[in-house]
Chain A
Amino acid sequence: MAIDKETIKHVAHLARIDLQPNELDKLSANLQDILGFIDKLSSLDVEKVSPTSHILPISNVLREDEPRTSLTPEKALENAPSKKGSFFSVPKVIE
């Protein structure tokens, strides 16, 4: 799979990363290598292997519906870069 500059830009935007023009070439090459490495996996015969979505052989881990103590608003907001009253405050967003 060829990774061109446009793809890198798109992925960078999805991850909200600002890339400099010189980084685009470098990252295109890096990502190309990584994907090439992963591509090797497709040479394996997995015909008889069922798909895995979790690495541990455990399933159905559940919790009872019992309330636990939450954080106080003060504690929850302790590391917030910006707050107003007991709200987190962010640059205005309107979609």
Chain B
Amino acid sequence: MIYETVIGLEVHLQLNTKTKAFCGCSTDFGKPPNSNVCPVCLGFPGSLPVYNRQALNSAIKLALAFNCRIQEHTKFDRKNYFYPDLPKNYQISQYDLPLSRNGYLDIFTNGSPKRIGITRIHLEEDAGKLIHEDAVSLVDFNRTGIPLMEIVSEPDLSHPQEAFDYLTNLKNIIEYLDISDCDMEKGSLRCDANISLRPAGVKELGVKTELKNMNSFKGVKDALTFEVERQTKILEAKETMVQETRLWDVEQGITVTMRTKEGAKDYRYFPDPDLTVFVIGKELIEPVKATLPELPYDKMQRLMKTYALTEYDAKILVASKKDAEFAEVCMQEYPGKDKKEIANWLIGPLMAEANLRKEQLHTLKLDRKELINLIGFVQRQEISHLSAKTVLTQMLDTGKSAQALIKEGNLEQISNTDALAQVIETVINENAKSVGDFKAGKVNALMYLVGQVMKKSSGKANPKVVGDLIKQRLS
């Protein structure tokens, strides 16, 4: 039987505000344990939480970027449970009146666009960090109360790769919005997944598994891939699927069932009386809307249209907002009509240099004008493409100008007919056999002769001019 995979993702995102959600404690990462804490985030009796304006603005920004309907009335609720990383014994979250619902995200997957529904985006707060020792667990509350957003997708994803692409697109947008570090290793972005299988064509959803403990996008994809196989085997063997939570074991590359205490979770949500309700009107939304940057999808379409780039090229450039901005300035400043000429340099050699140096395009120490100068030398056939790549590396290493480096390296390409004629003459005399082959119509022989001239000129001869000259000479 053919099965259809149904995946929904829940993403938790730490906002990059300076202070926590409900108190003025710093959100700085890596501070000594329990140094970013106060009576509010430690849940001391009598303390009162007040929500962070910047967090609300970031949340509205996120909701708008994900095309969500922002609810006019929203409130905070208490989610009650006991766990040592939760000092108040409840997490401030949102239950029946979340900030926003019914959005969508257009992603690129498998070479084509797909629209993924967003069920809801709501506000909550982070819990503390536990370190387990042999006999005790140690608690650090520095992370407690950092503002979180929960982004719940519809079960619209139908392949592990699609889930991966969704996450990549989501991260890309959030980076454009500049509201979170999006660093899975630091825990500022976390993802849980729901996955079920059903016979193709059946409408009813199958029994789902909730997957946790993935700490990279690849981990999410791998865990889902494993789960597709595991569930397929169960269904094919006509065994019963159990609804459960499973943990991804990255070492072994498998999911394992998470032992849970008996009884369904009973969080007893109720409105938090310590916090007021929120009325989200135009006066809150409009100023945020005005600060929304051009988002990756729109930027990509515009770059393709304005600079005649291919989808492939534009997609590479918009993967980083600052790189895309850098590239656009380069293309604007480039005097040539065909902007693809400079785009090729940006996406090709320059991107390679950036990767090699563990940098990004925009962080490379490179004067845009010098890059344009360098491309000019190639366009005017004054240096070969190969030499230009060497010069580019040297420019990044030394900070010297293209012109100075070409001179230093004696790299000017020889296109001068007279200067080349003599070398060609020598090569023809020394390679009688190849000359004969060429005259007999063997194309490879010409390439060999050109190669010999290149060799004698230390790579500086213009191969096209050389080829033409040899043909002329031997015709």
Interface residues of A (CB under 8 A from B): 10, 14, 16, 53-56, 58-73, 76-77, 82, 84-95
For A61, A62, A64, A65, the residue with the greatest tally of chain B CB atoms inside 10 Å of its CB is: A65
- The reply to whether A66 and B24 contact each other, CB–CB distance below 8 Å, is yes
Q: Which chain A residue shows the least CB distance to B128?
A: A88
A92-B135, A93-B84, A93-B137 known; A86-B50 Cβ under 8 A = no
A73-B32, A87-B139 known; A65-B52 Cβ under 8 A = yes
Q: How far is the CA of A3 from the CA of B245 in the complex (A)?
A: 32
- The reply to whether B136 and A70 contact each other, CB–CB distance below 8 Å, is no
- The reply to whether A54 and B276 contact each other, CB–CB distance below 8 Å, is yes
* Interface SS majority for chain A: loop
How many B residues touch A, CB cutoff 8 Å? 54
- The reply to whether B279 and A59 contact each other, CB–CB distance below 8 Å, is yes
- The reply to whether B33 and A86 contact each other, CB–CB distance below 8 Å, is yes
Q: How far is the CA of A88 from the CA of B277 in the complex (A)?
A: 33
Q: Which chain A residue shows the least CB distance to B279?
A: A59
Stretch at the interface among B53-61, B161-169, B175-183, B395-403: B53-61
- The reply to whether A70 and B33 contact each other, CB–CB distance below 8 Å, is no
Question: Is B35 in contact with chain A by the CB < 8 A criterion?
Answer: yes
- The reply to whether A90 and B136 contact each other, CB–CB distance below 8 Å, is yes
- The reply to whether A70 and B279 contact each other, CB–CB distance below 8 Å, is no
Instruction: List the 5 shortest-distance A-B pairs measured between CB atoms, nearest first.
Output: A68-B24, A65-B54, A87-B138, A53-B271, A88-B139
- The reply to whether A76 and B140 contact each other, CB–CB distance below 8 Å, is no
* Interface SS majority for chain B: loop
Residues on the B chain within 8 Å of A89, using CB: 136-139
- The reply to whether B52 and A70 contact each other, CB–CB distance below 8 Å, is no
Residues on the A chain within 8 Å of B133, using CB: 92
Residues on the A chain within 8 Å of B18, using CB: 65-67
- The reply to whether B136 and A68 contact each other, CB–CB distance below 8 Å, is no
Question: Is B266 in contact with chain A by the CB < 8 A criterion?
Answer: yes
- The reply to whether A94 and B33 contact each other, CB–CB distance below 8 Å, is no
Question: Is B273 in contact with chain A by the CB < 8 A criterion?
Answer: yes
Interface residues of B (CB under 8 A from A): 17-19, 23-26, 32-39, 42, 50-56, 75, 80, 82-84, 97, 130-141, 258, 260, 263, 266, 268, 271, 273, 275-279, 284
- The reply to whether A90 and B277 contact each other, CB–CB distance below 8 Å, is no
A14-B268, A62-B51, A68-B38 known; A90-B276 Cβ under 8 A = no
Distance from A18 Cβ to chain B, minimum over Cβ atoms (Å) = 14
Q: Which chain A residue shows the least CB distance to B51?
A: A62
- The reply to whether B33 and A60 contact each other, CB–CB distance below 8 Å, is no
Residues on the A chain within 8 Å of B131, using CB: 87
B75's contact among A53, A55, A63, A66, by CB below 8 Å, is which?
A: A53
Would you mind naming 14 contact pairs between A and B with Cβ atoms under 8 Å apart?
A10-B263, A63-B53, A64-B54, A65-B52, A65-B55, A68-B23, A70-B38, A71-B42, A73-B32, A76-B35, A86-B33, A86-B35, A88-B140, A89-B139
Q: Which chain B residue shows the least CB distance to A82?
A: B136
Residues on the A chain within 8 Å of B279, using CB: 59-60
Residues on the B chain within 8 Å of A72, using CB: 35
Residues on the B chain within 8 Å of A71, using CB: 37-39, 42
Distance from A12 Cβ to chain B, minimum over Cβ atoms (Å) = 13
A67's contact among B19, B141, B276, by CB below 8 Å, is which?
A: B19
Q: Which chain B residue shows the least CB distance to A74?
A: B34
Q: Which chain A residue shows the least CB distance to B134?
A: A92
Distance from B6 Cβ to chain A, minimum over Cβ atoms (Å) = 27
Residues on the B chain within 8 Å of A88, using CB: 34, 84, 138-141
Q: How far is the CA of A61 from the CA of B83 in the complex (A)?
A: 29
Residues on the A chain within 8 Å of B277, using CB: 53-54, 59
Q: How far is the CA of A91 from the CA of B284 in the complex (A)?
A: 45
Residues on the A chain within 8 Å of B273, using CB: 54-55
Q: How far is the CA of A76 from the CA of B139 in the complex (A)?
A: 12
Q: How far is the CA of A67 from the CA of B262 in the complex (A)?
A: 42
- The reply to whether B137 and A59 contact each other, CB–CB distance below 8 Å, is no
Residues on the B chain within 8 Å of A95, using CB: 83, 258, 260
Residues on the A chain within 8 Å of B82, using CB: 16
- The reply to whether A76 and B56 contact each other, CB–CB distance below 8 Å, is no
Residues on the A chain within 8 Å of B39, using CB: 71
- The reply to whether A84 and B34 contact each other, CB–CB distance below 8 Å, is no
Q: Which chain A residue shows the least CB distance to B24?
A: A68
Q: How far is the CA of A93 from the CA of B84 in the complex (A)?
A: 8
- The reply to whether A87 and B276 contact each other, CB–CB distance below 8 Å, is no
- The reply to whether B34 and A73 contact each other, CB–CB distance below 8 Å, is yes
- The reply to whether A90 and B54 contact each other, CB–CB distance below 8 Å, is no
A87's contact among B50, B54, B140, B266, by CB below 8 Å, is which?
A: B140
Q: How far is the CA of A61 from the CA of B35 in the complex (A)?
A: 27
Distance from A71 Cβ to chain B, minimum over Cβ atoms (Å) = 6
A61-B50, A86-B32 known; A67-B24 Cβ under 8 A = yes
